[in-house]
Chain A
Amino acid sequence: LAKTTQPISMDSYEGQEVNITCSHNNIATNDYITWYQQFPSQGPRFIIQGYKTKVTNEVASLFIPADRKSSTLSLPRVSLSDTAVYYCLVGDIRGQNTNAGKSTFGDGTTLTVKP
């Protein structure tokens, strides 16, 4: 299983762009990189997923270099409501064999957005 490493915490101010990096040195060929957001006492919620290069959706962008050993979640113009824990999840989550279930969550990055 690919182990992930993220910064424990980050601070930002409203309106700034935030970049959170995740290291996953032993990512496997079939692994995807997925980011989740979690608010206190709630289950995590999907933000974005990618395999390589850049992916963008309505809330975030995900940058993945060619060697895929790291990824960066970019949140444009954060607001107070973006204060949460962000998790990088690496695994063959789309796969059809049962190993696809063994995706690993890291300990997450606590993002605090200040006014």
Chain B
Amino acid sequence: DADVTQTPRNRITKTGKRIMLECSQTKGHDRMYWYRQDPGLGLRLIYYSFDVKDINKGEISDGYSVSRQAQAKFSLSLESAIPNQTALYFCATSDPSSGRGTGELFFGEGSRLTVL
């Protein structure tokens, strides 16, 4: 089983619909992130959370909201989806004090969202 699991993996929706992408992790990490990737481009940070009570905006938070329901769960919502939010979304976790101590980001397999 994957350490960082995203659901759904693929979703097609219509403009104006509310969409939630969910992320759960079994790594026991406190830090969780949501990134967006557009074709041919790098990853851009949407939101990140360092613990359940800590939520921070990234580069491109407009049009998105998040919820950290538990240490292991971090959800991304699009309140009213629009076509230019069509992208590949990645959830990631990190813990600077574990493993190699590098703050390495561990990514999920991605959620491909298409807004028509």
Contact = CB atoms under 8 A, between A and B. Distances in A.
Interface of A: 32, 34, 36, 41-46, 49, 87, 89, 93-96, 98, 100-108
B58 interface: yes
Chain B contact patch, size range: 20 to 34
B42 A87 contact: yes
B109 to A, nearest CB: 6
Nearest to B56: A98
Nearest to B6: A43
Nearest to B45: A102
A93 B103 contact: yes
B102 A32 contact: yes
B75 interface: no
Given A43-B110, A49-B103, 18 more contacts: A32-B103, A34-B104, A43-B92, A44-B43, A44-B105, A46-B104, A89-B105, A93-B94, A93-B105, A94-B96, A98-B56, A100-B103, A101-B50, A101-B56, A102-B48, A103-B45, A105-B42, A107-B42
B47 to A, nearest CB: 9
Interface in B99-116: 100-105, 107-110, 112
A36 B105 contact: yes
A60 B105 CA distance: 18
